[in-house]
Structure 1
Amino acid sequence: MINDILSIEKSPNDSNIYKYIKLENELELVLISNPNSNQYSALTLSVGVGSFFDPSDVLGLSHLVERSILLSNEKNPDSNDDFSTFIQLNGGFLNSVTYEDRTSFYYKIDSLCLEESIEKFSNYLIAPIFNKDLLEREINIIESEFNSIFDENKKNLVLLKGIFENDHPYGQFNNGNNKTLRLEDIRNRCMEFFEKHYSSNVMKLCVYGKQSIEKLEEMCKKSFGLIKNKKIYSTPLPKFVLKNPIKFEIASNIQDKHILKIIWPINDESLSFKGKVRSNSNSIINHYLGHEAKGSLSAALDNLGYSYRLYSFAQSYAIKDINIMGLEIHLTKCGFDNIDHVMFLVNQTIREFNANQMVKTELRTLDIEWKYLNNDSSIDLTRVVSNNLFYVESHVQVLKYPKYMFEKENPSEINKILSFMVPSNMIVMVSSNEFKGKTNSENDIYKIQYSSQVIEDSLIKKWKFDYQRSVDIVLPKPNPYLPNDIEIKTKTSSKPHEIYNFNGIKIDWGSESSLNSPYLNIIVKFDCPTKGNEQYKN
């Protein structure tokens, strides 16, 4: 067993005690002890397999295994006494989720029952049964989930399967349904999937409790040390490379809603957002594209009457060469009619980004957040730590990752990411009710009506050059309100009392030092004397 030689870095404001251990079966875990906590105990175990690894003839198999594995095992075959029932009877909460690259199981429970829960939980990972009757029940639930998916954004992702080189699984249907899972040999397929992918050397565990670190270690070693190490190592996926830039026009069922979604695949593993980037480059770009202050893309589009909502996103996976930058813009009818101009403004925003100006403000902001970070939510903390263990190069960084690993300024790294955010490496998805009756294809899973076309050079040229540059899009100015000194001057607390009362505006103020954080909580209440008055109804 490997013990924590280097201590996990934590915020000065964090009262938890941490320890990293790697068991003899190569299962990695972080123990968190806080004897003074009023939180429930909590546990998260993540396994390094997800829907990317579904067999092509049983799509959704990883989801079915996730839902079924905790229902029965060789030590406890009684389906009426499953793990979920045990957790609920002891005032807890249990959930699990299948991602593309990993599967997570997490729960909270009364601290007095933590040891028993660990023993019971580990048995399901040692020898699950996958009872066929219970599998049938879970397939019915999955089919119901499938028929209840109304999120068009989620559905539309299946259109992306096949647009990458070498049959990359990105966009693969991952929920499962009767068609893909109701097979005669489904129990055998579940057992095969478990034997192939569920191994201790690809499991990351985090446990939070009031017990001492030594007691938590004893519990985990005794139970999780019995999980078999099958010495599984992930099969590399194909390179994450677009065949061609592509545009989808999707017929939406929602009236008067027009959504533009842009995705840029970043296929350089050296730029992986998970584990290798040390300057938080993707977060800086994400903030620049998504902020809404004066000078932003959002403000410029709003001023033109083109949009009413915009947000940016960065996605990445434990499989380090799959990284994505993206934008989602909710367009007005005017914006939909002028979508080429919108695309021009998006490209202008990216071209004119200046990395040097953004980095220093980001550094200072994150430094303040880290210093006063308080990890006081047990179940959320275990989920974060368990998942982060897949990504960090050293367990020392598991609490800082990814947001607070801002170790150096690296504008060149930002510029390398921006070099992928060009029209020739772009997926454009436009969803609108206006496309009803005008599409030429139908997806066979969700019955999505759509058309798709390779983005030709002439359209790329239009998006880059055919409009006048907007003077409304500029880099955000440095934040003048960032403090130079963030030390708390006084440790006293006072009840709220009136400090201002004039012209209908009343302000009460009180200090609170028990949380040891230099943050301000503002609550604004508007009293409207005309509320409910028929005279002012319109």
Structure 2
Amino acid sequence: MLRFKFILIFIFSIFNIFALDKKYPIVEDKSDLKILNPSLKDRNTLKLRLSNGMKVYLISDKNTDKSAAAISVLAGSWDDPKEFPGMAHFCEHMLFKGSKKYPSETEYMKFIWDNSGIPNAYTASDRTVYMFSINHLAFDEAIDRLSHFFKDPLFDPSHIAKELYAVDQEHSKNLENDGRRVHMVSKEIGNQNHPNSKFSTGNAKTLQSIPPAELRKWYEKHYSANQMALVIYSNKDLDELTQMVVEKFTPIANIGKDPVTTKETIFNKENTGKITYIKPISNIQFLLLEWELDRKFTDDETKSADLIAYTLKRGQKNSLLEILKREHLAEDVDIAFEKAGLDQSLFLLEIKLTDLGIKNVSKVISRCFEAINNLKKSSIPNYLFHEMKTMSKLNYEYQAHQDAFEFVSEHAANLLYEDLSTYPKKTVMPTQYNSENINELLDSLNFSSSQIYLIADPKKTKMKLDNKEKWTKAKYSVKELDKSLQNRLSKNPTNPNIKLPEPNSFIPTNLQMDATKDNFTNEKKPAKIVDNDFATIFYLKDDKYKVPQVSWHFQIKDEIFDEDVRSDVLKDLYVKALLEKLA
């Protein structure tokens, strides 16, 4: 009888597998990246493509303290209708205000908060992402509530006025955010035919006349399952997570939406090769150089733009930053490749200026282009690519436990842009060294194609600002670069004092842990290995985490560290200098 019962259960299970398989083909995992951190050894993943086209990435982790979910939609502020700036952002807000199954406008948020969770969402240029984390026991009910955002939202007209106020408050909060103010100025001086020029946040003025029917119409046009990605992270088994996802998310409509693209450039060519002065709210002073890259580099699997950024800011002796510091012109440099939209991207170089740097901003600009031109002349050595690739791989393999909320938010956003089968390999790692891509990118980084911003007090820049950005009222002015600087930059100057990074001898080649009994003990107290007039040094063997990392903790005691103000200032200066030397 037991054998017969087993056969019946087995047949039923097989039937269920085939029945569910029609609703979600399992996607073969073609990413060969492996997590080697022992604390994450029990983590399992599964990739599904639901019958409605939705990408699904499931992560089962018995050691996570919270369950979390995030769903991203390939629809954002660039999809806003011209007559209603901020529509995508307002739609994001309204989806929290109830569904047919859960009509109360506070139901979702209250349920998450009551179960020690965090709910949130954000709207970017080409995507909107909804996410939450919560106690494990409440996860199933939270998932059901989230799924109804995309199955039967109410868009109740009675909630519109209240949510308009919330959007307006969010805009008001951004008025004193210098990063947002610079962003809005860049929109205003950019190509007005590009959707990037739109007022992406919106406020009560731009949104107050939206008919509820128009809001629903926009939602139904832009929210489609085939342009969504769902990430689930929980302590539940993969089978249980699969059943939950198939049941809750397969009913979401697939309208067969194609990604929205534009042939317009983000930059306005009339303002490239010029400098825009912006008055900040806070006491900051930055020089920002931006370039709009060729579209083919937005999803470049070789990550050549990232390699250029990595090379320029690696922090070696005689780097761009060290030269600027030596000349007392700058305190810090940040360089990055940034995805601006689905198929458009920017290359950014940001310098934190000293007062002397503001007075000599032409010299700072010149040093930046000299560093770039050095690379044009020498190109980038292959060893720097392998160094970047090696570290990207090691950082993934030995990643630490991440906060569940941040974890799903990050993965849901990234998953929109990579094929599910290879994810996350192409997001994490470059594929190969490509000298043609590198040289083409470097050639495009010239002053005539750049947008340059100086964000500093006008009293220091001695510049009269004669424009006000429409929405934030940020004062700015667009000016021609100094003629002598233009002439110098047109000759592609180089600088022999700015050097290429040497090979990093500290890049590990073998991270296999020696887990023999002699190397991992159960010692609970550190062993004293040095004890003399100079120092006392303790060593504690790691028998818990077993990752290829060392944790150093230094405590320096000396009579010179008195409690007076001068001593405190000297200590701070010493620590700052030491950190800069070690960076």
TM-score, normalised relative to structure 1:
0.91
* TM-superposed deviation, 1:377: 4.1
> How far, CA to CA, are the matches of 2:568 and 2:513 in structure 1?
48
Q: What corresponds to 1:247 in structure 2?
A: 275
Q: 1:91 aligns with which of 101, 116, 122?
A: 116
Note if contact 1:247-1:453 (Cα within 8 Å) is conserved in structure 2: yes
> CA-to-partner distance for each residue in 1:125-162, whole Å, 9 max, x for gaps?
11111223432222222222222222212212122225
Q: 2:487 aligns with which of 450, 457, 461?
A: 461
Structure 1 residues 413 and 383, CA gap change in structure 2 (3 angstroms): same
Note if contact 1:161-1:168 (Cα within 8 Å) is conserved in structure 2: no
Structure 1 residues 79 and 463, CA gap change in structure 2 (3 angstroms): same
What does 1:90-489 correspond to in 2, within 5 Å? 90-149=115-174, 150-161=176-187, 163-165=189-191, 167-183=193-209, 185-240=210-265, 242=267, 243-244=269-270, 245=272, 246-255=274-283, 257-266=284-293, 268-272=294-298, 274=299, 277-317=300-340, 319-320=342-343, 322-353=344-375, 354-357=379-382, 358-374=384-400, 377-392=403-418, 394-403=419-428, 405-434=429-458, 435=461, 438-453=464-479, 459-465=485-491, 470-489=495-514
Structure 1 residues 177 and 165, CA gap change in structure 2 (3 angstroms): closer
> How far, CA to CA, are the matches of 2:424 and 2:203 in structure 1?
37
> How far, CA to CA, are the matches of 1:485 and 1:234 in structure 2?
43
Structure 1 residues 534 and 158, CA gap change in structure 2 (3 angstroms): closer
Aligned AA for 2:508?
P
TM-score, normalised relative to structure 2:
0.84
Note if contact 2:190-2:197 (Cα within 8 Å) is conserved in structure 1: no
Structure 1 residues 536 and 334, CA gap change in structure 2 (3 angstroms): closer
> How far, CA to CA, are the matches of 2:567 and 2:480 in structure 1?
54
Larger CA deviation: 375-384 vs 415-424: 375-384
Aligned AA for 2:252?
I
* TM-superposed deviation, 1:402: 2.0
Note if contact 1:289-1:296 (Cα within 8 Å) is conserved in structure 2: yes
* TM-superposed deviation, 1:318: 5.3
Aligned AA for 2:149?
Y
Note if contact 1:372-1:516 (Cα within 8 Å) is conserved in structure 2: no
> How far, CA to CA, are the matches of 2:255 and 2:483 in structure 1?
50
* TM-superposed deviation, 1:534: 7.1
Aligned AA for 1:426?
S
Aligned AA for 2:453?
M
* TM-superposed deviation, 1:262: 0.6
What does 1:511-522 correspond to in 2, within 5 Å? 511-522=541-552
> CA-to-partner distance for each residue in 1:483-517, whole Å, 9 max, x for gaps?
33221123514442222234453322212243332
> CA-to-partner distance for each residue in 1:400-426, whole Å, 9 max, x for gaps?
2423x2222222222222122111110
Structure 1 residues 497 and 385, CA gap change in structure 2 (3 angstroms): same
> CA-to-partner distance for each residue in 1:344-399, whole Å, 9 max, x for gaps?
1111101112312522322333343344335654333322322222111x323222
Which structure has more helix as a fraction of its residues?
2
Gaps of 5+ in 2: 1-23, 570-583
Structure 1 residues 129 and 438, CA gap change in structure 2 (3 angstroms): same
> How far, CA to CA, are the matches of 2:314 and 2:231 in structure 1?
34
Gaps of 5+ in 1: none
Note if contact 1:96-1:104 (Cα within 8 Å) is conserved in structure 2: yes
Q: What RMSD over aligned residues (CA atoms) do the two structures have, in Å?
A: 2.5
Larger CA deviation: 8-17 vs 327-336: 8-17
> How far, CA to CA, are the matches of 1:430 and 1:533 in structure 2?
39
Q: What corresponds to 2:56 in structure 1?
A: 29
SS in structure 1 at match of 2:179: helix
Aligned AA for 1:350?
I
Q: What corresponds to 2:8 in structure 1?
A: none
Aligned AA for 2:303?
N
Aligned AA for 1:18?
T
> CA-to-partner distance for each residue in 1:250-282, whole Å, 9 max, x for gaps?
223445x4211110110x23222x3xx222222
Structure 1 residues 340 and 504, CA gap change in structure 2 (3 angstroms): same
2:77 is equivalent to residue 51 of structure 1 = yes
Structure 1 residues 208 and 38, CA gap change in structure 2 (3 angstroms): closer
Aligned AA for 1:532?
E
SS in structure 2 at match of 1:365: helix
SS in structure 1 at match of 2:445: coil
* TM-superposed deviation, 1:7: 5.0
> CA-to-partner distance for each residue in 1:191-239, whole Å, 9 max, x for gaps?
2221111111111001112222121111111111111112211222233
> How far, CA to CA, are the matches of 2:93 and 2:556 in structure 1?
47
* TM-superposed deviation, 1:527: 4.1
* TM-superposed deviation, 1:457: 7.7
> How far, CA to CA, are the matches of 2:324 and 2:182 in structure 1?
24
Note if contact 1:251-1:448 (Cα within 8 Å) is conserved in structure 2: yes
Q: Which has the larger radius of gyration?
A: 2
